[in-house]
Structures are given as C-alpha cells and as structure tokens.
Amino acid sequence: MDVLPSQLAHREIYNILISAVAPRPIAWVSSLSASGQPNLAPFSFFNAVCAKPPLLAFAPAMRAPKKSEAAAAAGQPKDTLRNIRETKEFVINVVTYKLAEAMNLTSGDYDASISEFEVAKLASAPSKLVRPRRVAESPVSFECKLHQILDFNPGPEGGSLVIGEIVSIHVDDRHLKEGRLDRNSLDLIGRMGGIQYTRTTERFEIVRPKIE
C-alpha cells in the first residue's frame, strides 16, 4: 500500500493515524464555561511541546453537525474548546489504569448542561491558579492558561490545536520518591486505535549512544 492522502476518505486517513501513531497519552481536560458550568473530557491527540515555557498541547476535533442540519454545515466546536475560548484556562489531568472506566464515561457526547464529573462519579479538587477544578483521583494535574489556539479546518472533519502554558502542577505525594516524581509508580494508560488502550507497566530501557 502506497497512497496519497488525497486518494483516501477522511475516515481512512483517520484510521491510519490512530492505529499507527500510538500509543498516545490522554489529556483529561477539565474546563468551565463562561457561566461556570464544569466539563470534563478526554483527548488522545495530546503531548508535551516545550519545557521553557512549559507548554502542553491537545487537539480537539470538531463535532459533526446533526442529521437535521445541512450537510455542508460547519463543524460544531466541542464544549471543551468553546469553554477554553471563553475563559482562557483549563486543567489537564493524567489518566491511570484505575481511572480508565471513569475516563471513558466522560467521553460521551453529553449536553453542555451536564457535568461529566457527576456522570462518572468523580471527586473534584480546587485548583490553585485557575478556576476549573481538577480530577482529585488523578496523580498528576497541570493547571494551564491558554497560550494559543491554532484552527485548521472549520468543517465537520476539522479540528484545532490548543496550546496551554502550565502555571501550576499538582503531584500526589504517594508518587514522589526522594522528592521527584516516580514514573514507575504511575500506572498510566495510552490510547491505541479504535476502542483499544494500552497499559504502560511493561517497560524496557535503552542507554543513549555516547558520541566522542
């Protein structure tokens, strides 16, 4: 198989991306609307992009228009993207294996008036410098102020890239070892293709080559 993206339907390109670009970390993003309505949703197009300034980025896709709407209608922004445009702040929580089922529950296409914290029966904790609350059970949470939003395709198959600057970090003390985050104690999960996920407990080490 050797094809150009222009030769493939959107769904075919998407399936190749999510199957080959894996495992992907999951940004469990908590946000607030301008009126104060909480929202929590997972995004697997996510990664760290810079350490100084400390930046994280995730890419929410557009929501397809409903069948009752015109086929050519533009995509609808998801609640998370709309909230961040309105308030300029959010929290990214990491997802452990223990939290996988709760995370999956929050991925539903709920009405904006519904709090996914309540749907998934998750406790929230106050943030230090931003208004959205964080997931209390998550071992690491990053409070972020909006740095930049890059909009790509406004259509129903498009999306945006949200870049946030970390302003505060919460780490559960149970995951600290000698004052540093113990990566081996974090039972994180990653997103694969379709409904598949992977657990990050099986690891191996490779020493980088030393160039004289």
Of the pLDDT bands very low, low, confident and very high (cuts 50, 70, 90), residue 179 is very high
Average pLDDT over residues 57-77: 75
Is the full-model pTM beyond 0.85? yes
Average pLDDT over residues 10-38: 95
pLDDT tens digits along 82-138 = 999 999 999 999 999 999 999 999 999 999 999 999 999 999 999 999 999 999 999
Pairing of strands 140-151, 160-171: antiparallel
Share of the chain above pLDDT 90, in %: 86
- The pLDDT score that the predictor gives to residue 156 is 85
CA–CA gap between residue 99 and residue 114 (Å, rounded) = 20
Of the pLDDT bands very low, low, confident and very high (cuts 50, 70, 90), residue 212 is confident
One of 3.20.20.70, 2.30.110.10, 2.160.10.10, 3.40.50.300 is the CATH number of 5-199, namely 2.30.110.10
Of the pLDDT bands very low, low, confident and very high (cuts 50, 70, 90), residue 68 is low
Give CB contacts under 8 A, 24+ apart, made by 59-63.
Answer: 59/159, 59/160, 59/161, 59/162, 60/159, 60/160, 60/162, 61/158, 61/159, 62/153, 62/154, 62/155, 62/156, 62/157, 62/158, 62/159, 62/160, 63/109, 63/156
